[in-house]
Amino acid sequence: MELRFTAGNGAVDTAIKELIDRVGPIRHRAIVREMIIAALKAGQENPEKADLKIMCGTLKEMRYTAKVFGDYRGARKITVFGSARTTPDHPLYRMAMEFGRKLAAAGFMVITGGGPGIMQAANEGAGLENSFGVGIRLPFEQKSNPVMNGSPRDIMYKYFFNRKVAFLKEACAVALFPGGFGTLDEAMEALTLLQTGKRYPLPVVLMDRPGDTYWSGWMDFMQDHLASGGYIGPNDFAFFHHTHDVDEAVAAINGFYRRYHSLRFVGGKAAIRMVSELPAGFIAGLKREFADLIVDGGDMVLSGALAQECDEPGLAHLPRLVVDFNKKDFARLRQLIDAINSR
The DSSP line for 84-105 is TT--TTSHHHHHHHHHHHHHHH
Is there a contact between 121 and 100 (Cβ–Cβ < 8 Å)? yes
Beta strands in 109-214 (DSSP E): 109-112, 131-136, 154-157, 173-176, 204-207
> Could you tell me whether strands 204-207 and 173-176 are parallel, antiparallel, or unpaired per DSSP bridges?
parallel
Task: Give the separation between CA 194 and CA 173, rounded to whole angstroms.
Answer: 12
Average pLDDT over residues 117-136: 98
pLDDT given for residue 142 in this prediction? 67
Average pLDDT over residues 223-245: 97
**Is pLDDT at 179 greater than 90 in this prediction?**
yes
Tell me the β-bridge partners of 156: 135
Average pLDDT over residues 209-229: 97
**Is pLDDT at 307 greater than 80 in this prediction?**
yes
Task: Give the separation between CA 222 and CA 216, rounded to whole angstroms.
Answer: 10
**Is pLDDT at 139 greater than 90 in this prediction?**
no
pLDDT given for residue 69 in this prediction? 98
Q: Give tens-digit pLDDT for 236-259.
A: 999 999 999 999 999 999 999 999
Is there a contact between 42 and 3 (Cβ–Cβ < 8 Å)? no
**Is pLDDT at 7 greater than 90 in this prediction?**
no
pLDDT given for residue 206 in this prediction? 98
Separation of CA 235 from chain center: 20
315 residue type, one letter:
L
pLDDT given for residue 260 in this prediction? 98
Residues in the chain: 343
Exposure string for 246-268, b = 16+ CB within 10 A, e = fewer = beebbbbbebbbebbebbbeeee
Q: Which residues contact 185 (CB under 8 A, 6 or more apart)?
A: none
Average pLDDT over residues 134-152: 90
Question: Picking from 40-49, 135-144, 266-275, which range would have the lowest pLDDT averaged per residue?
Answer: 135-144
State the average pLDDT for the chain: 96
DSSP states along 197-240: TSS----EEEE--TT--HHHHHHHHIIIIIITTTSS-GGGGGGE
pLDDT given for residue 141 in this prediction? 67
pLDDT given for residue 147 in this prediction? 97
Domain ranges of the chain: 11-70, 77-256, 260-342
pLDDT given for residue 46 in this prediction? 74
Average pLDDT over residues 193-203: 97
Q: Give tens-digit pLDDT for 262-285.
A: 999 999 999 999 999 999 899 999
- Helices and strands, number each (H, E), in the chain: 11, 11
> Could you tell me whether strands 77-81 and 109-112 are parallel, antiparallel, or unpaired per DSSP bridges?
parallel
* CATH class as words, domain 77-256: alpha beta
Is there a contact between 322 and 269 (Cβ–Cβ < 8 Å)? yes
Task: Give the separation between CA 66 and CA 73, rounded to whole angstroms.
Answer: 10
Q: Give tens-digit pLDDT for 46-89.
A: 779 999 999 999 999 999 999 999 999 999 999 999 999 999 99
